[in-house]
Structure 1
Amino acid sequence: MKKILIVSTVSRQFYLFEQGNIEVLKSLGYEVHAAANFSDSNERLDSLEIVRHHFDIDRSPFSLINIKAYKELKKIMKSEKFNVVHCHSPMGGVLARLVARSVGITPVIYTAHGFHFYKGAPMINWLVYYPVEKFLSKLTQMIITINQEDFAMAKKFNTNRVVYVPGIGVNTEKFNDYIVDRDKKRKDLNIPNETVVLVSVGEMIKRKNHESALKALSKVNNRDYLYLICGKGELDDYLRSLTKSLGIEDKVRFLGYRNDIPEICIASDIFLFPSFQEGLPVSVMEAMSAGLPVIGSEIRGNTDLIDNDKGGYLLKPEDVAGFAEKIERVISNKELRKKMGKYNSLKVKEFDQKRVKKIMAELYEGLGELI
């Protein structure tokens, strides 16, 4: 049986982003192994039925722990004799490619879920990550990118093949199952039917830029809205305090981490996504599948998904006044919300998981040509 090793930094990568790939690999007869730091492991991994290999990798490129992680990963690769290595995340991609070269494993695939160097990125990102990625491309037989900006960048690297794949795929059909539950979900959340609901999904971290959304909402004159934030993180207390200082604490609900995002999207009217940096955001694809207009930031990934003025509006991440104006416009126009939402529900089919699985199956089946 052919054996493949999927390498990442944290184990949640496997059930959040690799489930489709794992299903494809098993259908092709692969025994699937996964290497990561499994300290964040939970029961969702059990359903994947993969062979797990823990090693002490750290997300920081400056952590000395990664010296130990390199040695641990080398021991894993030597003992298991894998046919293929498919790596993810910046540090997972670095260590896996270096180790694979040292033990003689080919082919090696790297999926870039969003290069840390991008238009508008801090100069330090370009100084640290760009030269490393360019060098490692020589050790990579295939680079997979999930947005057009990264695809154009990767084509400049020295690797055998660069491929664009439309993300990890989203099950656009599953949202049809929740339509009849809209009123019930609103009742469960104690939200009146006439209230316009805006929702954001993402960690409470600086990169997700919830701050701009809150500041924009404080400037909206139409007060018949409710804003739901799904996620948790280090900025939780700060953002709660910010809502009070902005005088909108009665308009914002912090729902924490949720497992019912599809239902919440169906119960909502507008999706807000002012993030500073993304690869190809799954949360936006899910919102589109639910038929929501999206008001988001004009950044890589979002520009692949949202057609400005058709499926929503894209603005600079810190354009608080611009966000406020667009939010006001969409809150006040139900027909516009429906029109944009319908457009998105059709556009997102380009990123459906069935299409992505078909593409990945063809790529995996063609690996022999890269050796």
Structure 2
Amino acid sequence: MVKITRVLHIVTTMNRGGLETMLMNYYRYIDHTKVQFDFLVHRDFESDYDKEILSLGGKIYHLPRLNPLSINYRKQLNKFFKEHKEYQIIHVHQDCLSSIALKYAKKNDIPIRIAHAHSTSQDKNIKYLVKSFFMRSIPRYATYLFACGSEAGDWMFRGNNYTILNNAIDIKTFIYSTNIRNEIRNRFNITENEIVIGHVGRFNYPKNHEFLIDIFNEIHKLVSNSKLMLVGTGNLQNLIKEKVKRFGLEDDVLLLGSRSDVNELMQAMDILVFPSRYEGLPVTLIEAQASGLPIIKSNNIPEQCVITPNVYSLSLNDNVQKWSQKILETYKNYQRNDTSSYIKDAGFDIEGNAKWLENLYLGEVKKL
């Protein structure tokens, strides 16, 4: 009987975010008779993907919230690795603070230690200097460096060699379908002549929802039959709800929360708007392009995510009038069709990428 290689992914939670969705895409397509994923999470509540992880044969372990300055946290992390000698591979997704798990994994003789960069910056708050300090030591403790794109890898690993692991998706589930589009729009009482502007992402500082609401407010003044569909949750969600209410847009902004049917919701949208302050390489933009959506994004988002001819960039220094004009102009001139071949040709199909990652894990273990 072939021994299964168990890979420990170290994350914050397994809620529906870009990083977590990317991991689940790979997990679903990995050969589970050869490789299994387990997860070390840093929250004590049940996450969106937990039930699916358990159904696929994965294990979920819990540690307290990561505090890089906490002696107690480090003791618990060290204790975890001492008690779980079965792992030969850890794959860490904690951005700047990944060095802490990597350091204690090395201390406990885990031979294959992967750090994975998913972003191109950090919030410039009081924690920034601490995070920057810990980020510098990631290459010292990692045996492999992965990044979602070159801008994320360059930013996090500062001149060290890294490998790009694509934020691959299951393309066939996103292919444009008029039947699904009509079904979803009917479900939300959206008529065919209404414009649906979409966004999928956490309600947090990088995603810049407050500017998105300003843009939609301007659009709605110009085109009253417009809707804004927001998918996701996050710590800024209540602030955004308050802003929507202040503008009197409660009937026109759909706050859908965390959803498992993003692929279908995208069929109902007419255009995706993504005014992020910074990103790694958003899975959402790959998904949106696979579904045939045109996209207006900020030029802070790496151009590596541009696969179809239907993606346009604007500066966050441009005013809401310019953003609104570009959105409406793009909507008016766009004919939606099947763009899935672009995504496959660009190397973002999950099947091939999952096989590559599986072979890497198994190949590294074989060398031991």
Task: Output the TM-score relative to the length of structure 2.
Answer: 0.84
Distance in structure 2 (CA, Å) of the matches to 1:52 and 1:211: 35
Distance in structure 2 (CA, Å) of the matches to 1:222 and 1:271: 17
Pairs within 5 Å for 1:132-171: 132-153=134-155, 156-158=158-160, 161-167=161-167, 169-171=168-170
Pairs within 5 Å for 1:270-309: 270-301=271-302, 303-306=303-306
Secondary structure of 1:190's aligned partner? coil
Contact 2:203–2:232 (8 Å) recurs in 1: yes
Distance in structure 2 (CA, Å) of the matches to 1:295 and 1:174: 22
**Partner residue, 2:130:** 128
Distance 1:30 1:289, change over 3 A: closer
Distance 1:69 1:208, change over 3 A: same
Distance 1:354 1:179, change over 3 A: farther
- With 8-17 and 105-114 compared, the bigger mean Cα shift is at 8-17
Secondary structure of 2:105's aligned partner? helix
Residue 218 of structure 1: how far off its partner (Å): 2.5
Residue 89 of structure 1: how far off its partner (Å): 1.4
Contact 1:271–1:292 (8 Å) recurs in 2: yes
Residue 111 of structure 1: how far off its partner (Å): 1.1
**Partner residue, 1:54:** 62
Contact 2:99–2:138 (8 Å) recurs in 1: yes
Counterpart of 1:140, as a letter, is A
Any unmatched runs of 5+ in structure 1?
none
- Map Cα deviations across residues 167-216 of structure 1 (whole Å, 9 max, x no partner): 2x111111238542221221111011111211111223332212212212
Contact 1:56–1:68 (8 Å) recurs in 2: no
Secondary structure of 1:116's aligned partner? coil
- Map Cα deviations across residues 227-280 of structure 1 (whole Å, 9 max, x no partner): 111223333343233234435444322223323222211011111111212222
Pairs within 5 Å for 1:147-226: 147-153=149-155, 156-158=158-160, 161-167=161-167, 169-176=168-175, 178-220=177-219, 221-226=222-227
Two-structure CA RMSD over aligned residues (Å): 3.0
**Partner residue, 2:7:** 4
Distance in structure 2 (CA, Å) of the matches to 1:177 and 1:292: 9
Counterpart of 1:10, as a letter, is T
Mapped pair 1:327 → 2:327 = yes
Distance in structure 2 (CA, Å) of the matches to 1:278 and 1:108: 24
Residue 92 of structure 1: how far off its partner (Å): 6.3
Distance 1:123 1:369, change over 3 A: farther
**Partner residue, 2:92:** 87
Distance 1:26 1:70, change over 3 A: farther
How many residues align structurally?
A: 354
- Map Cα deviations across residues 283-305 of structure 1 (whole Å, 9 max, x no partner): 2222111110011111234x221
**Partner residue, 1:36:** 41
**Partner residue, 1:228:** 229
Mapped pair 1:348 → 2:343 = yes
Distance in structure 2 (CA, Å) of the matches to 1:181 and 1:270: 16
Counterpart of 1:4, as a letter, is V
Secondary structure of 1:122's aligned partner? coil
Distance 1:31 1:345, change over 3 A: closer
Secondary structure of 2:175's aligned partner? helix
Residue 28 of structure 1: how far off its partner (Å): 6.7
**Partner residue, 2:77:** 73
Residue 163 of structure 1: how far off its partner (Å): 0.3
Counterpart of 1:107, as a letter, is I
If each structure's helix is expressed as a fraction of its own residues, which one has the higher value?
Answer: 1
**Partner residue, 1:16:** 21
Secondary structure of 2:273's aligned partner? strand
Distance 1:359 1:155, change over 3 A: farther
Distance 1:370 1:95, change over 3 A: farther
Mapped pair 1:45 → 2:53 = yes
- Map Cα deviations across residues 19-66 of structure 1 (whole Å, 9 max, x no partner): 3444566547245432223523242332231133222232x545x3xx
Contact 1:10–1:37 (8 Å) recurs in 2: yes
Contact 1:8–1:35 (8 Å) recurs in 2: yes
Distance 1:370 1:148, change over 3 A: farther
- Map Cα deviations across residues 50-107 of structure 1 (whole Å, 9 max, x no partner): 133222232x545x3xx32322222222233222222111376233211112112212
Contact 1:182–1:266 (8 Å) recurs in 2: yes
